[in-house]
Structure 1
């Protein structure tokens, strides 16, 4: 049923009447259930196609007490990470014969709360949260207590797990890889721009930065650090502020690619050449990081893997094959060296 435009007026009763069969037979054909002759199946499908009939998923969910959809909670759809995550999640959902209902909270807890209240357990059988930075944990726990399957993907702290099934990656290791790269190039005057509060969602990445600085016997200074929001604009403003205050920095670690691209623009506007005057390294490896000039050196995290494993874990949870304590670990992060990093000018 694809060539005929959808006709919202067409009902399953209309299809049954035109095909000369019962409503139950039409239902069985459309769902691939029951014993139906090949001749009848073909006649029902042709009739449904001719009338432009599509099943009412809402009605089906109410009748059967389950829905063919999964809810996906995203923090900010304009951040390129989330469309990449959603695409991989959608493909995995389709593999499980499910569809995604996507909510963009836009960093507003109330937006996510309203969506969950209306959708979870009615139009959707389960909820996948792409990190929980904008949703109170107790709200997700309440959903779980109501018997609604909930999974958090992109959980960044594998040593501090939630009381909710999750897919986690080692963000601290990602932070270490990024800053070790700068140290190995010979940088000693390294600043940091973190796209969250110190103990917020990027806290693990920041901890990795601090560990490497201490190991290299470089004393981190609060004057060399800025904590901001995870966006291009906030990265630009933080970069401009940091470089204006500390023009002697030769490198900056940024906790996420989007603000890192903002820092690159700020550096250019202040007259810095990247990487000749200033090296910039980040974490994630979103598509624009590969398209920028120079290309952004970053630590790639397993975005598609986290999305796929998040959907699979949610389906397993819904089927009773996973528990509320299930944790899925992903592949380790990897350094991707591009044109935004080089040895400091003095050492060259």
Structure 2
């Protein structure tokens, strides 16, 4: 078996430098990283991860808990998180909980502190108390993309201003002259996406629209549920000319429902989503949406978790909120009736 010392001799560096290339490549000059990696490839070196974990007192793995890998948002998030973890010399272990709190607890009980030194927990049905208990055992726990969370909570969190996202959608539709609005409010493992709706409704009121101008239908995070919810909305409130969906999947479902009812988007109905998954610009008409800075949030979540694992977390950035952005495409337009 090839040893680390042999790699160091081949690359003409110290053993410590080889270790840094494997664990913290950003701290090593690029030309040195290239030389060490060439030696690793030539010799076929494979690090002993178990021995490394014992020597360091922690693993080189970070766990990411997410609720439903079939939702296109999550693979996009995982890609960005994995890149950041790999850049920092860590592996990313993706745990799909299937919206089941029991599976989430089982993952946390069996992975946190053993297979993974830190855990990033995306929106789940678990409460802060359960996750805080895990953190008290010395495990780095970071909340990510939680909608119903406050800066006063004990656990660090990286999220987005969901109320501002809803407000951006309302301002855009109101500015296009719409007066009758519908909202499809999704629900996932983190609960109903009511903060997005609250921001949307408050902004409508601020733009002079009465409460009765907004009709709300509860749904789920899927194209199918968006389709059914939009059908219910348009049949029950035919005067509605603009629909805000609290995620892109439901917005796409709403556009499909409009087509089946003979409505043209955006001539007869404007539709706006929230997230900006890749499918949003691939669909036709391309979806106007509120973009969440997914890659930035993923990278910051990984960085914060690893800073905690390595004991370098900046206390002033334990609660990080990113701003959303309006992306105007083809699915929204001026009111024509």
The verdict on a shared fold, with TM-score over 0.5 as the criterion, is yes
Deviations 1:214-250 (A, max 9, x none): 2233233498111121112211111111112112111
Equivalent position SS for 1:138: helix
- Higher deviation after alignment, 212-221 or 243-252: 212-221
1:1-348 matched pairs, under 5 angstroms: 15=1, 33=15, 49=44, 54-58=46-50, 60-62=52-54, 64-130=56-122, 132-156=123-147, 161-196=152-187, 200=191, 202-221=193-212, 224-322=215-313, 326-346=317-337
Distance of 1:107 and 1:222 partners within structure 2: 34
- Higher deviation after alignment, 320-329 or 170-179: 320-329
Asked if structure 2 preserves the Cα contact closer than 8 Å seen for 1:282 and 1:298, the reply is yes
How far is 1:324 from its partner? 7.4
Aligned to 2:22: none
Asked if structure 2 preserves the Cα contact closer than 8 Å seen for 1:309 and 1:328, the reply is no
Aligned to 2:33: none
Asked if structure 2 preserves the Cα contact closer than 8 Å seen for 1:165 and 1:325, the reply is no
How many residue pairs end up in the alignment? 316
Deviations 1:125-145 (A, max 9, x none): 000123x23333222111111
Is the radius of gyration larger for structure 1 or structure 2? 1
Asked if structure 1 preserves the Cα contact closer than 8 Å seen for 2:4 and 2:15, the reply is no
Instruction: Compute the TM-score of the two structures, normalised by the length of structure 1.
Output: 0.81
Aligned to 1:12: none
Deviations 1:138-188 (A, max 9, x none): 221111111111011223357555321111221111100001100110101
How far is 1:272 from its partner? 1.3
- Higher deviation after alignment, 187-196 or 110-119: 110-119
How far is 1:81 from its partner? 1.1
Distance of 1:232 and 1:160 partners within structure 2: 32
Asked if structure 2 preserves the Cα contact closer than 8 Å seen for 1:133 and 1:201, the reply is no
Distance of 2:242 and 2:130 partners within structure 1: 40
Distance of 1:61 and 1:27 partners within structure 2: 20
Q: Cα 1:28–1:67, aligned 2, differ >3 Å: closer, same or farther?
A: farther
How far is 1:313 from its partner? 0.6
- Higher deviation after alignment, 177-186 or 327-336: 327-336
Distance of 2:291 and 2:214 partners within structure 1: 28
How far is 1:326 from its partner? 4.3
Instruction: Compute the TM-score of the two structures, normalised by the length of structure 2.
Output: 0.84
Distance of 1:178 and 1:144 partners within structure 2: 37
How far is 1:286 from its partner? 0.7
Asked if structure 2 preserves the Cα contact closer than 8 Å seen for 1:61 and 1:122, the reply is no
Equivalent position SS for 2:271: strand
Distance of 1:79 and 1:212 partners within structure 2: 28
Asked if structure 2 preserves the Cα contact closer than 8 Å seen for 1:158 and 1:170, the reply is no
